[in-house]
Each structure stands twice: as C-alpha cells, then as structure tokens.
C-alpha cells in the first residue's frame, strides 16, 4: 500500500544523475515535485513511462514541479538510460532500496520497486498517489489530472 494523501513524505538523500546527491527536503524546499518509483531501466514499461514523463515535462515545468525517477538501478545505468531516451529530469539511484521501502514502493519477495507515482506539495506532503504496476502511461495522466484540478482551476 502506498503512502496516503496527507502523509509527510520521508526525507532522503540519494545519488542523482546530476553527479551530486539529491536531498528531498533541501533540494525541493518550498517547491512541489513528482517522485515516481519504477522497477528497472530499459524495460518496456519503464521506458514508456519515462518517455511519457519526458513528453509531458513542459506541463509540469509551468507549475515549477520537478519530476524525479527512482529505481534500484545504479547511477551508471541511470546515466545510460537518461542519455538514450533524452530524459530532461533526474534519476535517483536507490541501490539499497531504503528509500523505496520508506515510500512503500517495494514489491514483496522480489525486492524491486513497484510502479508508484507521488505528487508532493511544497511542504513535501503527499497530494496524490497512484499505484499501478501495469499501464505506465496512466501514471502521467493521473498526475496531470491532479495538477489541473488543484492548481489550474483555483
């Protein structure tokens, strides 16, 4: 079960494809973001999801919402994945799975990340959570719908 709407997202620090460590509370202080957890770089569903976020990045940028992808792949694999698919957002390496576990995004027994997407507000509280392994494109559409309902229509 994913974190619930209203939960404070756990703080974390992970290596990023920027070459620096990313810390949620410091790097996104006062700004919303989307954190999506996915099983593995270069798999068909994960590639489709990353490319769909890439193709919709301008929508999120207009609201100063950064997109961050997290899996248990290492930085070297993330860098290759990011370059091959021209991803305009950061990928974070949770090789030990501690952040994935804290966000309740670990598949039992298998140990890889589930496909879960979180929209966090400027205070790092969960505004929306979408938990569905199949139908990767639905994650992006759900986030767009939530941003539109919360931010555009106000």
Active site residues: 46
Which residues 6+ apart lie within 8 Å of 70 measured at CB? 14, 35, 36, 37, 38, 91, 92, 94, 99, 100, 103, 105, 113
Instruction: Find out whether 44 and 133 touch, Cβ atoms under 8 Å.
Output: no
> What is the DSSP track for 20-70?
SEEEHHHHTTT--EEEEE-S-TTSHHHHHHHHHHHHTHHHHHTTT-EEEEE
Q: Please tell me the distance from the alpha carbon of residue 136 to that of residue 148, in angstroms, as a whole number.
A: 20
Beta strands 116-120 and 66-71, pairing class: unpaired
Beta strands 33-37 and 66-71, pairing class: parallel
């Amino acid at each position: 079960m994913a974190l619930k709407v209203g939960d404070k997202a756990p703080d974390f620090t992970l290596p990023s494809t920027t070459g620096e460590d990313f810390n949620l509370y410091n790097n996104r202080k006062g700004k919303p973001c989307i954190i999506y957890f996915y099983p593995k770089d270069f798999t068909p569903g994960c590639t489709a999801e990353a490319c769909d976020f890439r193709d919709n990045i301008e929508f999120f940028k207009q609201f100063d919402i950064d997109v961050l992808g997290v899996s248990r792949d290492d930085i070297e694999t993330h860098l290759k994945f990011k370059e091959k698919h021209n991803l305009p957002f950061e990928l974070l390496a949770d090789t030990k799975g501690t952040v994935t576990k804290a966000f309740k995004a670990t598949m039992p027994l298998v140990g890889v990340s589930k496909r879960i997407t979180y929209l966090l507000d400027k205070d790092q509280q969960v505004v929306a959570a979408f938990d569905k392994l199949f139908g990767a494109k639905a994650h992006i559409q759900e986030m767009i719908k939530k941003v539109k309902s919360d931010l555009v229509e106000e």
